[in-house]
Amino acid sequence: MKALLIVDLQNDFCPGGALAVKEGDKVIPVINKIMDKFTIIVASKDWHPDDSIHFVKWPKHCIRNTRGAEFHPDLNTKPINKVFLKGTEGKDDGYSAFQATNENLEKYLKDRNVDELYVTGLATDYCVLQSALDAVKKGFKTYVLTDGVMAVNVNEGDGARALQEMKEVGVALTNTQSI
Ligand code: VGL
Ligand code: ZN
């Protein structure tokens, strides 16, 4: 069984948001279009308390229950079966969707016989990277859909390096045309 994971497609990571990924919203129609290929669709949300230590490193973003933490309005949220909240602990936590605290993502997927995980969303060089690395560690055959992710690129080339790192541990890089 395969599942689609949509990482952090929230207002604050899209143009106009507090920690905007340049052209982050461009992946939304790409992701909306492939949803009908999956029966299991899960999404993560960065969901920080207002005073998180995480904000020593980053501008304040995705404060729980604020507009910045909501999904981008163009994302088709109807087919999403479950939302996983991460970065909830006030630490520099929650780069991986597998660190969600409201529900255990690994258990959720394994309980539903998922063995293949297709990863999309934001940002390639942080939460997509850590989620994909964890997915491999937990034994999922892991795919990253390269046209369905976008990088922050704090340093030039971070996105490309992240894809390379994923590839080296066994993540399959593919695109939405091939699924
Ligand atoms: C993320 C930086 C800080 C992400 C979250 O979703 O990739 N990046 N918090
Ligand atoms: Zn964050």
Q: Give 41's DSSP letter.
A: E
Tell me the two tokens of residue 111.
Answer: 């309980």
Determine the pLDDT at residue 1.
98
- The per-residue pLDDT of the chain, averaged, comes to 98
CB atoms within 10 A of CB 160: 13
pLDDT in tens, 3-36: 999 999 999 999 999 999 999 999 999 999 999 9
Tell me the two tokens of residue 177.
Answer: 């045309």
Measured CA to CA in angstroms, residue 1 lies from 76, 77, 168 at distances of 22, 21, 24
Residues with CB under 5 A from ligand 2 (ion): 46, 87
pLDDT in tens, 56-107: 999 999 999 999 999 999 999 999 999 999 999 999 999 999 999 999 999 9
Q: From the CB of 43, is ligand 1 less than 6 Å away?
A: no
Is residue 145 a contact partner of residue 152, using CB atoms and an 8 Å limit?
Answer: no
Coil vs helix vs strand at 37: helix
Ligand positioned closest to the Cα atom of 52: 2
Tell me the two tokens of residue 99.
Answer: 């660190």
Does 147 qualify as catalytic in the annotation?
Answer: no
- CA dist 102 and 82 (Å) reads 10
Measured CA to CA in angstroms, residue 154 lies from 35, 116, 139 at distances of 30, 30, 30
Q: From the CB of 12, is ligand 1 less than 6 Å away?
A: no
Does 127 qualify as catalytic in the annotation?
Answer: yes
Identify the structural domains of the chain with CATH numbers, from first to last.
Answer: 2-178 (3.40.50.850)
Determine the pLDDT at residue 4.
99
